[in-house]
Amino acid sequence: MAATVIDGKAVAASVCGRVRAEVEELTAELGRPPGLATVLVGDDPASAIYVRRKREACEEVGIRSIHHEPDGSISQEDLLELVGELNDSDEVDGILVQLPLPDQIDSAVIVNSLDPDKDVDGLTPISAGRLARGEPGLVPCTPQGIMELLASQGVDPSGREAVIVGRSNLVGRPVFSLLLGANATVTICHSRTRDLGEVCRRAEILVAAAGQPRLITGDMVRPGATVIDVGTNRTDDGLVGDVDFDAAVEVAGAITPVPGGVGPMTIAMLLANTVEAARLRHKAAATSGRPS
């Protein structure tokens, strides 16, 4: 029997609905809407589209979008100064610096300069450390979206065999920490894994994030597994995932399509993170007596 195809757009819409209600409540509490600062450096057309979508999504749920678009020739020092101002601003709850940055700028230096409490992309070493240690903090958006997709299917990772293909800081490693935190037994595969098919066949939850078109064939999928395909690969056949969907859909219990699976979750989780950041800052300010 063919698997349930998980509708990422519908799950993302439901997250946005939840966020909209939380924004309303928080706006009344703070006396101002939560604010997300976006920084777009230079004129990369793809980055411009991503940032525009994020800003539009903010406005749809009532989050204030505070946008900065410095010239592509900005120096690292001046960009650090801008991030410093946003770190210090009481109106800004979350900061998103769109990557990639121009060659004269060391992205790691900029990312590391973000206030971890405003790091809504969850990219700073402090955010990564908090997540790895199971401490509260801001979690990268795509991995968090994967957990929402599992929850939407009623899949509780506790006690289950989970396999992740890919160990990047952006996807594989944070998904590992989230699934481990949810009490799954987690295995992480990468390019040196000896028998990928054998490991993947153990998975009740299989997350493919390798950036290799149709790497996961139907025979690598355990019957009834929940398959989350993070891959977005542009090929002559159009946009395809890391999973051979047509074969895997016949074996899995539930599977995300590409596009329309994980992709729509990323912006929804960015909005959720902005609200979470505002809430945490407000709580911290209330305890310290500072304004929020």
Catalytic sites, residue numbers: 54, 98, 121
**Quick one: 114 or 189, whose CB is closer to ligand NAP?**
189
Instruction: State in angstroms the smallest separation of the CB of 139 from ligand NAP.
Output: 14
Instruction: State in angstroms the smallest separation of the CB of 194 from ligand NAP.
Output: 10
User: What is the distance of C-alpha 241 from the center of its chain?
Assistant: 17
Instruction: State in angstroms the smallest separation of the CB of 212 from ligand NAP.
Output: 5
**Quick one: 107 or 292, whose CB is closer to ligand NAP?**
107
- What DSSP assignment string belongs to 11-76? HHHHHHHHHHHHHHHHHHHHTS--EEEEE--S--HHHHHHHHHHHHHHHHHTPEEEEE---TT--H
- Contact call for residues 273 and 266 (beta carbons, < 8 A): no
**Quick one: 159 or 197, whose CB is closer to ligand NAP?**
197
Instruction: State in angstroms the smallest separation of the CB of 259 from ligand NAP.
Output: 8
Spatial distance between the Cα atoms of 94 and 38, rounded to a whole number of angstroms: 9
Instruction: State in angstroms the smallest separation of the CB of 191 from ligand NAP.
Output: 3
Strands, sheet with 35-39, edge to edge from the N-terminal-most edge strand:
64-68, 35-39, 94-97
Amino acid at position 144, single letter: Q
Amino acid at position 290, single letter: R
Which residues lie near ligand NAP (CB under 6 A)? Answer: 142, 165-168, 170-172, 189-193, 196, 209-212, 215, 230-233, 262-263, 266
**Quick one: 39 or 176, whose CB is closer to ligand NAP?**
176
87 contact partners, CB below 8 Å, separation of at least 6 = 95, 113, 114, 115, 118
Q: Report how many helices (DSSP H) and strands (DSSP E) the chain contains, helices first.
A: 10, 11
Measured in degrees and rounded to the nearest 5, phi and psi for residue 237 equal -85, 10
**Quick one: 77 or 195, whose CB is closer to ligand NAP?**
195
Amino acid at position 173, single letter: R
Sign (positive or negative) of CA dihedral 211, 213, 218, 220: negative
